[in-house]
Amino acid sequence: MHRRSFLAFIALLPAARPLAALATGAAPDRFTFRSIDGGPLDLRTFRGGPVLVVNTASRCGFTSQFEGLQALWEQYRARGLTVVGVPSASFRQELSSAAEVKDFCEVNFSVDFPMTDLVAVTGPEAHPFYVWAAAQGVAPAWNFHKILLDSQGLIAADFPAPVTPEDPQLRAAIEATLLGT
């Protein structure tokens, strides 16, 4: 890792926590993204209900999954599920700006679930949430990797890109986390 990349990574870590603490604990206790609309998107906002965090890309063969993610959001949000889209160019298939991504998602898929600004999900520039998940053995290998957090913010399950939002196993995992709230 280059010194500059390492220093940029260290700057993203929570200041009051030792490096070893990054791999433990619940996600909502420490991770904030920048919202696609501007301002913070703090995972603590969603504490108490399950959260499905999905790294997305507008120019991917799995982009049609936005439709299914929106349907999940509409079906389960009254019961406490939050879907969070995390646009990322880590796999070189995302538009160049958050404004373009937001417009694309709204126009083509009527997306209204929370979305973050563009972030890296792999490599030395990865957002701290993804560093935390990787330390637990959960790392996206491609766009539309789904990480399901339980009501306590712990990883309940994860699903690779080919698993669609309609998949019975994904829905069963969501139902199980909803029962645990």
List, by residue number, the catalytic residues: 60
- Buried/exposed 137-152: b ≥16 CB within 10 Å, e otherwise: eebbebbbbbbbbbbb
- Enter the tokens of residue 116: 């973050």
CB contact set of 120 (below 8 Å; sequence gap of 6+): 88, 89, 90, 126, 127, 130
Q: Burial level of 3, CB count in 10 A (0-12/13-18/19+)? A: exposed
Token code pair at residue 109: 């898929």
Compute the distance between CA of residue 107 and CA of residue 51 in angstroms, rounded to an integer.
Answer: 24
Is 63 strand, coil or helix?
coil
Burial of 179 per CB tally in 10 Å (0-12, 13-18, 19+): exposed
